[in-house]
Structure 1
């Protein structure tokens, strides 16, 4: 019918990246569904979720939350708490609250969604595994690393059993657990997992895939933390070369690679090699993010510190003064970054 056609066209525009055009149509479809079908009709509730998802993608988290809450309330009333659609709504709202920083509210919803999926779908269903991972990530963000580890290990074990060791979801689970172990200080355990992830990404995706390059950076960071600076340097150089080839010199990921390699060379005493890399990172951040972006401020400070170490005190002073002034303007005189 006409409303369905409007909704479908809105989703096509969303998929094409025309979020403003999509919003106009999805709002029209929702309004029409409310008028003709009522607020609790399944199609109306689905329209709420579709528009809420769009608003979330546009960054209007408050607008998205209102719609996701209304849709969840409607599904609880009409379908019950354990219906698959209700459980999907619970999980979606939980993830949104996490993005908003409401960790306690998010945790309650994600636990409810996970419990419901375990009961109705089983522990190895893909939807259950997604929720295990989401809740694990939330607990990690909240600082409950032991709780997070138990869930991420369960997710990885299930992915290995159901998908195999080289499936993209399994590799993602390996990487996530490796990152958690790194955060807990289990560097050897983390290294084994991150090496397995990188090997799998190389085999299945190739050396220049963005996921492979991210895994290269992750393992390099771990080796740097373990003190294996030569091993870290080799990986950082490979990642930088790959990102320059595939993303260009001004992509945010490439700029991070410039900065990380530059800082590593500085730590190794390679000050002359570090300087052009840190200058490239700073120049790129100024161009793409502006002079007051936090990443730019970090680049200013890093280059200033390098110049100070090299004995270029005038150059260092200019950058460090700029860094202090920018922190005062952006964060205030009493912020820890300013002090």
Structure 2
């Protein structure tokens, strides 16, 4: 059992970063357990042995590479520890617990548990796994013992310091670099062939280099002669029986993770156990899939998927597989939809687990045009629009609704055409941030739905149109459409439903935005009342909390109330939805600015970085990206870091001009804030140019927001810039314009 390998024996390729992380932690003894996880043949064992050989002063390295028949770890480890204790001390022990034995161990030990997933027994027994984890924690509690675990999946340790490393494939660039450092004169074609064959797996790369160093053949001959390389990847496909090949071909259709029920449906089997027996476990034993022990879910190794597609494509019944796949997941999404309103805390995680498969469903659904599937997907598109557009942050939802629009033109009724156009416009607006294309779809939807008379669908459409106009800073037109939707819902007695609550929520935001708070307040109360009555605690309540925060910001003197509601909104969104989403990006921005106002600028920037990371996953070409950069500019200005502030505002300005347009409230706001930063930085002429631009834009949007003080704000700063630069004549003219604007504002009731 004692492991004699040295550092020189541990050939590790392309793991420089992982090695440095481990050695830093190991040398300082910050942790007692190192867990190295990842797919088979990715280099876990080699890295573990490198760590074990790196530990100074280690007396014993106990390496367990086969635990498949071991029913208890405690007895084995007690045996090892007893042998390590001096004989005279051993006789004095009253009990034989591991905890007591550890107190008498003076030598340094490293326990290396390789392929530790086998401690799960048949992957369903929890007792053996629990005992194993508890034993590891006991061992790691001793200052003389280090525990190293390698496994295809991660174990979870509670209240225990441990280092977690998940190994991935090496990049193509790293593979090429390793090969070229070891071998000279290799042709480009040969290099590409070898890199492709090794698939980013260190073991295969090392095998190739070892083989090649003894031969003068071209690298392409490795695929003919080097059986070690071939067997470790290709034979897991070649040696499968015809029956298992068929199952593998069917299951390979799934992208990423999938559950037993999905596999059962595709295979046409009624028993979960049967599916595991005939397909999943045989494939797992050949290292083609991994098992996620936490969720009982499976996923194919990315470096195997290429081989599967190449060698088994001819066995795949694409038509039947696609039909079953799409039918199954369409039913899943449809069944989840009504449950969201009843029990969002349970349903949202389920939806998140299936997100990759639903994403695949939507892409495939775009290619399904026969009548039966058309009806199924139109129903899915109508019933699951909230989940697909607001919770699933994927562009596949946009493509799905685009396909539904095209299909409805051929096979659908005017109602179906109008609904698909409306949902497609909403997807374009919410997911991609495309306001004008969305507006075009809403207009087309209106021409279809209006001919059918007053309806719930038409009222929803007017709400969509109103919100789109608000996003374009056309507030008066936005209010007309939102009020029309509200009146229509009153007439149809649909006020107290989720769409009525949505209309009220949209109205409250627009009224708040233009400063008409007396009209905003009843809309706030109505929206919250409707949503609480219908849903209780639900993700949509988070939107209402956020709107309350915006309202209290406008009231003035209620900053603590605003901050309270912004934080409540973020907590609610994070509680229900763990996936990246645009509404969380908005809340992160709002809470970040509250931290900034209180003086905690580091926390504010940290939250804005989190928002940017989330936005990156959702797509950066979106107006929310400009919001993040704009808020960074504000925070840096508060910190008097004017260089970073100017850079952030400049990026935000470019984005807002491209996405929102030159004449937009937000564009004008960024121009003004950039001017303020330049003025404080002493760049007075540049600042005056920005203030002039901001004044011109704000003057143009003033008709939409007559009580807005933006024009006054820009004129005041422009006057100050002229004064500082000695431009007396320009300062005088600006003062006259400022007095006129102040006079106009004084006519409004306070």
Q: Please list, as runs of the form range in 1=range in 2, the aligned pairs for 1:106-117 lying within 5 A after superposition.
A: 106-117=520-531
Deviation at 1:175, TM superposition (A): 1.8
Q: CA RMSD in A?
A: 4.4
| 1:132–1:155 CA contact under 8 A, matched in 2 | yes
Unaligned runs of at least 5 residues, structure 2: 1-411, 429-435, 703-708
In structure 1, which of residues 148, 153, 156 is the aligned counterpart of residue 562 of structure 2? 148
1:106 and 1:9, CA in 2 relative to 1: closer, same or farther beyond 3 A?
A: same
Q: Deviations over 1:246-271 (max 9, x none)?
A: 56799576776565455435435x3x
Is 1:30 the counterpart of 2:450 in the alignment?
A: yes
1:181 and 1:7, CA in 2 relative to 1: closer, same or farther beyond 3 A?
A: same
1:243 and 1:173, CA in 2 relative to 1: closer, same or farther beyond 3 A?
A: closer
1:325 and 1:283, CA in 2 relative to 1: closer, same or farther beyond 3 A?
A: closer
Is 1:327 the counterpart of 2:747 in the alignment?
A: no
Q: Which moved more, 1:145-154 or 1:85-94?
A: 85-94
In structure 2, which of residues 544, 562, 567 is the aligned counterpart of residue 131 of structure 1? 544
CA distance in 2, matches of 1:149, 1:223: 20
| 2:669–2:694 CA contact under 8 A, matched in 1 | no
Unaligned runs of at least 5 residues, structure 1: 35-43
Q: Please list, as runs of the form range in 1=range in 2, the aligned pairs for 1:264-279 lying within 5 A after superposition.
A: 264-268=677-681, 270=682, 273-275=683-685, 277-279=686-688
Is 1:172 the counterpart of 2:586 in the alignment?
A: yes
Is 1:50 the counterpart of 2:440 in the alignment?
A: no
Q: What SS does structure 2 have at the residue aligned with 1:264?
A: helix
Q: Please list, as runs of the form range in 1=range in 2, the aligned pairs for 1:197-216 lying within 5 A after superposition.
A: 197-205=607-615, 211-216=624-629
TM normalised by structure 1 equals 0.67
CA distance in 1, matches of 2:570, 2:745: 44
| 1:10–1:22 CA contact under 8 A, matched in 2 | yes
| 1:117–1:128 CA contact under 8 A, matched in 2 | yes
1:27 and 1:247, CA in 2 relative to 1: closer, same or farther beyond 3 A?
A: closer
Deviation at 1:117, TM superposition (A): 2.7
| 2:589–2:607 CA contact under 8 A, matched in 1 | yes
1:48 and 1:236, CA in 2 relative to 1: closer, same or farther beyond 3 A?
A: same
| 1:197–1:215 CA contact under 8 A, matched in 2 | no
| 2:672–2:714 CA contact under 8 A, matched in 1 | yes
Q: Please list, as runs of the form range in 1=range in 2, the aligned pairs for 1:1-339 lying within 5 A after superposition.
A: 3-4=414-415, 7=418, 11=422, 17=437, 26=446, 29-30=449-450, 32-34=452-454, 44-51=455-462, 53-54=464-465, 57=469, 59-61=476-478, 63-75=480-492, 77=493, 81=496, 83-99=497-513, 101-123=515-537, 125-143=538-556, 144-164=558-578, 167-180=581-594, 182=596, 186-188=598-600, 191-205=601-615, 211-225=624-638, 228-229=639-640, 231=641, 233-243=642-652, 251=662, 260-268=673-681, 270=682, 273-275=683-685, 277-282=686-691, 284-285=693-694, 301-310=716-725, 312=726, 316-332=727-743
Deviation at 1:332, TM superposition (A): 3.5
CA distance in 2, matches of 1:165, 1:29: 34
Deviation at 1:150, TM superposition (A): 2.7
CA distance in 2, matches of 1:236, 1:53: 35
| 1:258–1:280 CA contact under 8 A, matched in 2 | no
Deviation at 1:298, TM superposition (A): 5.4
CA distance in 2, matches of 1:266, 1:234: 12
CA distance in 2, matches of 1:133, 1:55: 19
1:319 and 1:149, CA in 2 relative to 1: closer, same or farther beyond 3 A?
A: same
Q: Deviations over 1:77-98 (max 9, x none)?
A: 3x573x4344334434444544
1:160 and 1:303, CA in 2 relative to 1: closer, same or farther beyond 3 A?
A: same
| 2:719–2:735 CA contact under 8 A, matched in 1 | no
CA distance in 1, matches of 2:676, 2:576: 41
| 1:3–1:29 CA contact under 8 A, matched in 2 | yes
Q: Deviations over 1:24-80 (max 9, x none)?
A: 97377436424xxxxxxxxx13213423543562632553254233233235x3x57
| 1:113–1:131 CA contact under 8 A, matched in 2 | yes
CA distance in 1, matches of 2:518, 2:466: 23
TM normalised by structure 2 equals 0.34
Q: Which residue of 2 aligns with 1:37?
A: none
1:332 and 1:292, CA in 2 relative to 1: closer, same or farther beyond 3 A?
A: farther
| 2:678–2:687 CA contact under 8 A, matched in 1 | no
| 2:463–2:481 CA contact under 8 A, matched in 1 | yes
CA distance in 2, matches of 1:220, 1:110: 31
Q: Which moved more, 1:321-330 or 1:129-138?
A: 321-330
CA distance in 2, matches of 1:150, 1:292: 31
Larger helix fraction of residues: 1
Bigger RCO (CA 8 Å, 6+ sep) = 2
CA distance in 2, matches of 1:105, 1:291: 24
| 2:668–2:698 CA contact under 8 A, matched in 1 | no
Q: Which residue of 2 aligns with 1:39?
A: none
The count of aligned residue pairs is 307
Larger strand fraction of residues: 2
| 2:531–2:540 CA contact under 8 A, matched in 1 | yes
CA distance in 1, matches of 2:687, 2:606: 31
Q: Which residue of 1 aligns with 2:157?
A: none
Q: Which of 1 and 2 has greater Rg?
A: 2
